[in-house]
A and B are shown apart, each in its own frame.
Chain A
Amino acid sequence: MKMEITNEILAAYAEGKVSVEERNQVREYLMQHPSKLESVIAMMDEDYELELCDADDLFSVEKSGASSKVQSFSDIALSAAAFAPMPTDCECKQPILKKACSSVRKESFSERMNTLLDELDL
């Protein structure tokens, strides 16, 4: 019986925690959705969040008076509940993400996989 391939099943597959039947179904799914291969590699990466720059360089907060790096629960909850876009004249400052500092990726993921397969010379 064909099962739904959820993110959890893919993640369990990435960790090698699926049954033989599930593995076969995930294989079939990936054959039909090869764009998901990149996602599976990310799931295998236990250190995916590591960046070349330091965290402080990547994530800075404009301060207005008191430190705004620490947020209270009620601020965050209100924002989540409203899910309203920020008014342009809002005085409270948003955390700012800077772009990651790494070299430009010229090849696509698919090309990188093909390169590795070629290098394996099977």
Chain B
Amino acid sequence: MKVAFANRYKPLSDKEIVDKVITAPYNEEAAVYLLFDRYDPLLAKIYRDVFVNDSNWYEDCLDDLIIYLKGKDNDWERLRSFQWRCQFSSWLKPTAANRFKEIKPYLIGKIPFPTSIDNEDAHVQLPDDGEESYEAIERKVMLLEAIRELEDPDQKFVVVKRLEGYNSQEIAELMKKAWKKHGIRRIDKGHEIVPSAAYVDVKMSRAKVSLKEILCQMI
């Protein structure tokens, strides 16, 4: 989704835009650009993950996200709480996902809207049901950290996408798009590499070797 005033904010970094938003008199136009333009592809993906085939509520979700980030005093309290300890997109993903999940039952009509949708008590996080053993969960947490330590970006990409549920052919297609997005070209023996399912499988095999080495060092 493109907004008419995008060119004004396009050259700015995420931090520069957020600073404009949270500094009085609060630049709401900058916030709209950030969510409706720059991070529209990300938010659209998150929306599809939450709402699956129901396409009716995307704009409502974005509108609600803006209101949510503003907080009840309209001073961008929640956006202001972001302290730049990570990339803005990394914070936006769970923030948007949690909010979309929270308002989904209201939007699709399962639950009537409350007077205020801004429920401060909403996030009491109870532990998950103990379906898995402590050791099983511990292994997963360590695996997560090992994935983070993978040095080869293609190995990391392949593993992450595999865990997100994509098969080798799909990962190859996504890798082509990722390389295009980041301006990456890989050459091997004078030939340009084009990601394929076979390339993905090779990277996955090597990633497993790397992960085993990392996990053995961690234990």
Contacts and interface: CB of A to CB of B under 8 A. Distances in A.
B119 interface: no
B93 A43 contact: yes
A103 to B, nearest CB: 6
Contacts of B66: 80
A16 interface: yes
Interface string B37-70: 0000110110110001101101110111011000
Nearest to B47: A97
Contacts of B164: 41-42, 45, 109
Contacts, number: 205
A62 B120 CA distance: 37
Interface stretch (B15-23, B78-86, B195-203): B78-86
A83 B65 CA distance: 11
Nearest to A27: B141
Contact size range, B: 35 or more
A40 B148 CA distance: 10
A95 B212 contact: no
A107 interface: yes
Contacts of A114: 136, 140
Interface in B133-181: 134, 136-141, 143-144, 147-149, 156-157, 159-167, 170, 173-174, 177-178, 181
Given A8-B85, A42-B93, A49-B42, A105 B163 contact: no
A55 B144 CA distance: 30
Interface of B: 1-5, 28-29, 32, 36, 41-42, 44-45, 47-48, 52-53, 55-56, 58-60, 62-64, 66-67, 81-83, 85-87, 89-91, 93-95, 97-98, 125, 127-128, 132, 134, 136-141, 143-144, 147-149, 156-157, 159-167, 170, 173-174, 177-178, 181, 208, 211-212, 215-216
Interface of A: 6-12, 14-18, 27, 30-35, 37, 39-52, 55, 58-59, 69-73, 76-77, 79-80, 83, 85, 94-100, 102-103, 105, 107, 109-110, 112-114, 116-117, 119-122
